[in-house]
């Protein structure tokens, strides 16, 4: 049987809407009811199919676990050197991910809790809730990927504005407990006036923000005591075929 996720019924989307309007983003603690967040976090921590996502020369590469395992220490160090060098002046990232297929027919919510969460996020109950919060009546679909940020991982500034993707909003479902701000991994919003607003990873907390907006994830420090687990995605106005 697939896991059945539910929104916390104590949340009032009309009240949350004003917060979103005022800032262009919102952080909703206690988003999932019951044991939903715990079950999802546990499942992600136990997965072995994480791909290493990196960018190089404008292209995205997903290195499967076996490829990374076959790399020597020297090869890993050289790859990191190149990634960090590119990050000084270009869009760059390094983190681990498990992607959920966009086509609904390719999803397996009965056997994969990550796919079940993706289906939950695109359900009419969630869409109706988030339409009210964001004041975006046109959103119709949510995509999803799990992400894991280990020490050294990061995501430099970008705005998520990709032609043809019909993205209206982005979301980040936090699944990390007892995170300290000193560990990095903050979701940062870059203001045009040089001001930066940041959100610390929190457990069972849904962050959502309007697009386009320049944002980044600060590098996770070498002394971080946890892995920064999230499920992230975009709320879109078109359903992919």
| Domain chopping of the chain, boundaries | 13-236
**Whole-number Å distance between alpha carbons of 43 and 213:** 31
Please give the structure tokens belonging to residue 35.
Answer: 């044991």
Q: At what angle do helices 36-46 and 113-121 cross, to 10 degrees?
A: 140
Residue 2 has pLDDT above 80, yes or no: no
Q: What is the pLDDT of residues 126-180, one digit of tens each?
A: 999 999 999 999 999 999 999 999 999 999 999 998 889 999 999 999 999 999 9
Q: How many helices (H) and strands (E) does the chain have?
A: 6, 13
Range 13-236 has CATH code 1.10.357.10 = no
Residue 209 has pLDDT above 70, yes or no: yes
Residue 21 has pLDDT above 70, yes or no: yes
Residue 65 has pLDDT above 80, yes or no: yes
DSSP string covering 91-125, please? --EEEEEEEPPSSGGG--TTT-HHHHHHHHHTSHH
Q: What is the pLDDT of residues 72-109, one digit of tens each?
A: 999 999 999 999 999 999 999 999 999 999 999 999 99
Q: What is the CA radius of gyration of the chain?
A: 18
Please give the structure tokens belonging to residue 81.
Answer: 């050197």
SS3 (DSSP) at 145: strand
- The pLDDT of residue 193: 85
**Whole-number Å distance between alpha carbons of 62 and 87:** 18
Confidence grade of residue 1 (pLDDT, cut at 50, 70, 90): low
- The pLDDT of residue 56: 72
Confidence grade of residue 59 (pLDDT, cut at 50, 70, 90): confident
212 prior amide bond cis, ω within 30 = yes
In a 10 Å sphere around its CB, with 0-12 CB exposed, 13-18 middle and 19+ buried, how is residue 232 labelled?
buried
SS3 (DSSP) at 144: coil
Q: At what angle do helices 13-23 and 124-134 cross, to 10 degrees?
A: 50
Q: Rounded mean pLDDT of the chain?
A: 95
**Whole-number Å distance between alpha carbons of 13 and 148:** 29
Please give the structure tokens belonging to residue 4.
Answer: 């059945």
The predicted model gives 59-63 an average pLDDT of 87
Closest CA relative to residue 99, chosen from 53, 168, 55, 32: 53
- The pLDDT of residue 194: 87
What lies within 8 Å, CB to CB, of 96 at 6+ separation is 50, 51, 52, 53, 147, 148, 149, 150, 153
The predicted model gives 202-228 an average pLDDT of 97
Share of the chain above pLDDT 70, in %: 99
Residue 20 has pLDDT above 70, yes or no: yes
Tokens 């944002």 map to which residue?
Answer: 215
**Whole-number Å distance between alpha carbons of 116 and 14:** 26
């Amino acid at each position: 049987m697939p896991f059945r996720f539910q929104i916390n019924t104590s949340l009032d989307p009309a009240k949350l809407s004003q917060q979103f309007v005022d800032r262009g983003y919102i952080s909703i603690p206690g988003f999932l009811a019951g044991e939903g967040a715990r079950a999802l976090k546990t499942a992600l921590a136990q997965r072995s199919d994480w791909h290493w996502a990196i960018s190089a020369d404008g292209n995205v590469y997903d290195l499967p676990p076996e490829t990374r395992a076959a790399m020597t220490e020297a090869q890993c160090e050289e790859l990191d050197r190149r990634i960090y060098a590119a990050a000084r002046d270009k869009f760059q990232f390094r983190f681990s991910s498990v992607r959920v297929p966009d086509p609904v027919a390719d999803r397996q919510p009965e056997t994969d809790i990550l796919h079940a969460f993706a289906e939950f996020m695109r359900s009419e109950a969630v869409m109706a809730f988030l339409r009210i919060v964001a004041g975006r009546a046109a959103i119709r679909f949510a995509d999803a990927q799990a992400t894991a940020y280990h020490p050294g991982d990061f995501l430099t500034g970008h705005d998520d504005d990709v032609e043809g993707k019909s993205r209206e909003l982005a979301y980040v479902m936090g699944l990390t407990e007892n995170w300290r701000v000193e560990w990095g991994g903050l979701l940062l919003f870059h203001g045009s006036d040089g001001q930066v607003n940041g959100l610390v990873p929190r457990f069972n907390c849904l962050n959502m923000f309007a697009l386009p907006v320049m944002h980044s994830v600060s590098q996770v420090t070498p002394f971080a005591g946890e892995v920064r687990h999230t499920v992230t995605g975009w709320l879109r106005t078109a359903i992919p075929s």
